[in-house]
């Protein structure tokens, strides 16, 4: 409790100082983007990134700090509502697990848009562990409670081969679908992933910054420098480790990345290629100057 109170006070102090600097036209913040958009890939440094921007932009859910998940009508896989799109267009910082289609609807002409990517096998392993650290009884929808219970009832092998629509949504070349604008469709095993991969890579080229979970500390420092926001040491946070375990009887707690590659390699084939080529392109993307408008 004491740590939580201290973090709240810390955030409030930084927000107040940042707003004062904005109001006074301080040189230290005047070149910060008018809109910053974080295209959040699940289990890829999102908690660390949002913690930073919450310390400067505003409280999560405020008019300045817009989290798109709250505009899905209780369904985490639904399209963002028109109300959510409009609020995001007016927001100072926008984040969420939305896809390229939604990004195009919310980004302003001079928005600074960035993402963090993660090795696909490591990302899926993190997702697997995360699902077993969720208390399904806290889910507001009965259908989600049942889904978590079902996922926890599966063996590791069954989880990565399941044709359950929600399991496919989370595991089947998620990054390629997200960056090609096909997140809410085309999750099936017969989707045209090769075509979607090329579109995802073309879209990636238009970002202002691409960082990676594996080199988060250095990449985030470079991101902050490019945007002009205040420098602050940002160690990566691991939300799974902060949660109590609700594992289920068949939880493979010692599962490793190699297990994911052996069991789900076909389901991350295009994601793996996307990640490989993104790493190769990131230095050039990140070196481009940002036009503040």
Compute, in degrees rounded to 10, the torsion defined by CA atoms 10, 12, 15, 19: -140
Query: What's the per-residue H, E or C state across 51-85?
Result: HHHHCCCCCCCCCCEEEHHHHCCCCCCCCCCHHHH
Tokens 């973090």 locate to 7
Q: Are 71 and 137 in contact (CB under 8 A)?
A: no
The pLDDT assigned to 143 comes to: 84
Higher pLDDT, 57 or 284: 284
Interval 253-260 mean pLDDT: 95
If we measure between CA atoms, which residue out of 166, 206, 181 comes closest to residue 98?
Answer: 181
* Domains contained in the chain, CATH given: 31-287 (3.40.50.300)
pLDDT of 19 strictly over 80? no
> pLDDT digits over 147-200, tens only?
889 989 999 999 998 888 888 888 899 999 999 998 876 567 677 899 999 999
> pLDDT digits over 202-240, tens only?
999 999 999 999 999 999 999 999 998 887 655 555 555
**Which helix (H) or strand (E) is 15 found in, with range?**
helix 2-24
What integer best gives the mean pLDDT of the chain?
85
Higher pLDDT, 19 or 221: 221
Pairing mode of beta strands 209-212, 112-117 = parallel
Using the CB atoms, write b or e for 198-217: b if 16+ within 10 Å: ebbbebbeebbbbbbbeebe
* Helix 120-131 × helix 269-287 angle, to 10°: 110
**pLDDT > 70 in the chain, percent:** 82
- Residue 288 banded pLDDT, cuts 50, 70, 90: very high
**pLDDT > 90 in the chain, percent:** 53
pLDDT of 77 strictly over 90? no
* Ranges of H-type helices in 78-204: 82-90, 100-106, 120-131, 142-153, 156-161, 165-171, 174-180, 193-204
- Residue 13 banded pLDDT, cuts 50, 70, 90: very low
Q: Are 56 and 230 in contact (CB under 8 A)?
A: yes
Which pair of tokens denotes residue 149? 């219970």
């Amino acid at each position: 409790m004491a740590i939580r109170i201290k973090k709240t006070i810390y955030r409030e102090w930084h927000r107040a100082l940042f707003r004062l600097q904005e109001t006074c036209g301080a040189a230290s913040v005047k070149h910060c983007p008018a809109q910053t958009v974080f295209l959040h890939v699940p289990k890829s440094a999102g908690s660390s990134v949002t913690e930073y921007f919450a310390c400067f932009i505003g409280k999560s859910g405020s008019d300045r700090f817009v989290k798109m998940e709250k505009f899905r009508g209780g369904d985490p896989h639904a399209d963002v509502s028109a109300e959510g799109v409009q609020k995001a267009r007016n927001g100072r910082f926008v984040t969420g697990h939305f896809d390229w289609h939604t990004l195009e609807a919310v980004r302003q002409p001079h928005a600074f848009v960035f993402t963090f990517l993660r090795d696909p096998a490591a990302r899926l392993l993190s997702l697997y562990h995360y699902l077993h650290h969720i208390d399904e009884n806290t889910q507001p929808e009965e259908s989600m409670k049942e889904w978590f219970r079902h996922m926890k009832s599966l063996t590791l092998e069954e989880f990565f081969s399941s044709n359950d629509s929600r399991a496919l949504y989370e595991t089947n070349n998620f990054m390629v679908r997200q960056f090609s604008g096909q997140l809410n469709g085309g999750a099936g095993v017969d989707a045209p992933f090769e075509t979607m991969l090329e579109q995802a890579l073309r879209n990636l080229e238009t970002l202002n910054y691409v960082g990676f979970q594996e080199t988060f500390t250095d990449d985030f420092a470079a991101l902050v420098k490019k945007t002009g926001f205040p420098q602050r040491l940002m160690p990566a946070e691991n939300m799974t480790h902060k949660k109590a375990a609700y594992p289920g009887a068949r939880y493979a707690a010692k599962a490793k990345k190699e297990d994911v590659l052996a069991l789900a390699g076909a389901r991350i084939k295009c994601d793996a290629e996307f990640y490989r080529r993104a790493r190769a392109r990131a230095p050039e993307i990140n070196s481009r100057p940002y036009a503040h408008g």
